[in-house]
Structure 1
Amino acid sequence: MLETSQLQTLVAVARAESFSRAAEDLNVTQSAISQSVKNLENKIGVKAFKRTGKKVVLTQEGERLYELAQNFLGEMDEALTEIKDNKDEMKGRIRIGTLTGVGKSWLAQELLNFALKEDGLSIHISLGFQEDLIRSFEENKIDFLVLPEGAVPKSGEKLLLSEEAVTLVFPKGNPFNITKNTSLEELTRMPTVLFEQGDKLYQNWCLAKYGKKPKKVNTRFSVNSHGNMLQAVKNGLGVAVVPNHVLKRWHYKDDIETLGKAFEVSHDRFYIVYHKDATDLVRIRKTIEMLTKEQNPFL
């Protein structure tokens, strides 16, 4: 494998047509130039230069290598300049990973709006399972993650983003006559829409509001999608407990009712996880600042 310094020497000698002048251009000794050319020629197995009078000129093989070296070094200079400029400007690529639910209901929309304002950015969002996301992050294929506390990896720097709140929702018009004084026993007799059997959000909401979890729930409909749960509630199938950030961004949220702020319950903390030196890049630092601009985006 040829070294970049050898290609630089080849180009310098070809342009100067002299080992001594190439040494001056590169600010090295003539012997260093001679040794670099010798090592290059040993690697490629042919002569790159020949002497014509007082000049040193390229052989046919050297000319071909010279063209390739010029292109390579030119592209490398452009890339290094771009990387240096992008470090201090809102330019370049940002790669973000999060869970599918949070990505669809909040993060993707936030980053869509951000991309519209920052036309120098190329934003890539990965939605998936925490194990796959963490692996990609540790392999430096993702710049930062947005994950709930229980999914945060040991690697990386961590920044608290917010706490997720959940709330009880019911169809518009309150056909089940839910009030602030509704008891747990009354609630569990009502038809209920769950994320899954043993729905943790529903169970934890009841624990926070009533001091205990229900032993039995009148499950009318179960689907592992908060959007579809809200659709079921809208259609009158029952009551449900869903994350606030999902409800806020749901197209038909005006067709759903809640018991207000006092009946919202904190459920989970979300963190931004990033590589230690990532915030040296302006685009990463500004993106994190944008995501944390609201004190509680999930409430």
Structure 2
Amino acid sequence: MIETSQLQTLVAVARAKSFSKAAEDLNVTQSAISQSIKNLENKIEVKLFKRSGKKVVLTPEGEKLFSLASSFLGNLGDTLEEIQNDKESMSGKVRIGTLTGVGKSWLAHEMLEYAKKWDDLTVQITLGFQEDLVRAFESYQLDFLILPEESLPSVGEKTLLSEEMSTVVYPKDCDFDIDPENITLEDISTLPTILFEQEDHLLQKWCKDIFGKFPKKFNVRYIINSHGNMLQAVQQGMGLAVVPKHVLNRSFFKDKLNTLGEKFEVSNGKFYIVYHKGSEELLRIQSTLAMLTNSENPLN
């Protein structure tokens, strides 16, 4: 494999037309220059320079390699300079992955406002399933992950974001027989209910936390894997539902629904921000991490 230092030596000799002058330019000995060129010629098995009076000039093969080396070293220098500038400036790309619900209710809006502040910064948000997000993070396709504690990858630095709470919502402006002060597990089993998918884990967890168990059967009226559409169905009188509190608080239907109150809110677990070790040295990563962790009650 040709080494970058050998290409640098080739370019220096070709431009100086002298081994001794190239040695001065690179601040090395002339013997080091001669040995580097010799090793390069042996590696590719062609002569790269020939004598022309007191000067050394490129052979036709040397001209080809010189052209490639000049372009490569120029691009390498530009890239390294760009990386150094990125370290100290709000430029480049920030890539964040999280679950769809958290992304739609909070992160997408938050990052849109953030991106508008920085003309040279590109913000990329990926919403999806936790397994896909973890794989993307572990292969360095994401700079940040925002996931529940139980879903975090084994690599990366983590910092607490917030605790997600869930709450029961039910229709406000229609006849719905519910007593918030005296609701029972039997009420939950008989009242019209809206589910997030057939196995609604938030509803099941809520029942377990409040009543110690959940009903064997629900009076299911509507099933959809979108908390926003669940809230719309509740508002139209289809039934009650359990949704993340942050989704409700940022919903158009917030003031059109009733809840059972704080007494009946339960924790869905803590969410963490995960980022790659050492990446916080980059200004764009520092700034984004600070913005996310300083957000006021993002999951409440």
TM-score w.r.t. length of structure 2: 0.91
Whether the 8 Å CA contact 1:162–1:295 is kept in 2: the answer is no
Cα distance in 2 between the residues matched to 1:67 and 1:187? 76
Corresponding residue of 1:69: 69
Corresponding residue of 2:56: 56
Q: CA RMSD in A?
A: 2.0
Cα distance in 2 between the residues matched to 1:198 and 1:133? 22
Corresponding residue of 1:240: 241
Whether the 8 Å CA contact 1:162–1:270 is kept in 2: the answer is yes
The answer on 1:193 being equivalent to 2:199 is no
Residues 159-190 of structure 1: CA deviation (Å, up to 9, x unaligned): 11110011111223152143431421334322
Query: Which range is displaced more, 181-190 or 114-123?
Result: 181-190
AA of the residue aligned to 2:278: D
Whether the 8 Å CA contact 2:169–2:241 is kept in 1: the answer is yes
Q: Following TM superposition, by how much is the alpha carbon of 1:198 offset from its aligned partner in structure 2, in angstroms?
A: 4.8
For the residue of structure 1 that corresponds to 2:116, the secondary structure is helix
Query: Which range is displaced more, 137-146 or 234-243?
Result: 137-146
Query: Which range is displaced more, 116-125 or 7-16?
Result: 116-125
Whether the 8 Å CA contact 1:169–1:240 is kept in 2: the answer is yes
AA of the residue aligned to 1:275: H
Cα distance in 2 between the residues matched to 1:224 and 1:150? 21
Q: Following TM superposition, by how much is the alpha carbon of 1:61 offset from its aligned partner in structure 2, in angstroms?
A: 2.4
Whether the 8 Å CA contact 1:174–1:257 is kept in 2: the answer is no
Corresponding residue of 2:19: 19
AA of the residue aligned to 1:144: F
Gaps of 5+ in 1: none
For the residue of structure 2 that corresponds to 1:117, the secondary structure is coil
Whether the 8 Å CA contact 2:166–2:242 is kept in 1: the answer is yes
Corresponding residue of 1:265: 266
Query: Which range is displaced more, 9-18 or 191-200?
Result: 191-200
Question: How does 1:274-289 map onto structure 2 within 5 Å?
Answer: 274-289=275-290
Q: Following TM superposition, by how much is the alpha carbon of 1:285 offset from its aligned partner in structure 2, in angstroms?
A: 1.8
Q: How many residue pairs align between the two structures?
A: 299
Residues 58-115 of structure 1: CA deviation (Å, up to 9, x unaligned): 2222222222222211111111011011112211122222222222322222222211
Corresponding residue of 1:99: 99
For the residue of structure 2 that corresponds to 1:12, the secondary structure is helix
For the residue of structure 1 that corresponds to 2:221, the secondary structure is strand
Query: Which range is displaced more, 200-209 or 224-233?
Result: 200-209
The answer on 1:120 being equivalent to 2:116 is no
Cα distance in 1 between the residues matched to 2:132 and 2:207? 32
Pair 267,174 (structure 1): closer, same or farther in 2 beyond 3 Å: farther
Cα distance in 1 between the residues matched to 2:221 and 2:228? 16
For the residue of structure 1 that corresponds to 2:295, the secondary structure is coil
AA of the residue aligned to 2:250: R
Query: Which range is displaced more, 245-254 or 269-278?
Result: 245-254
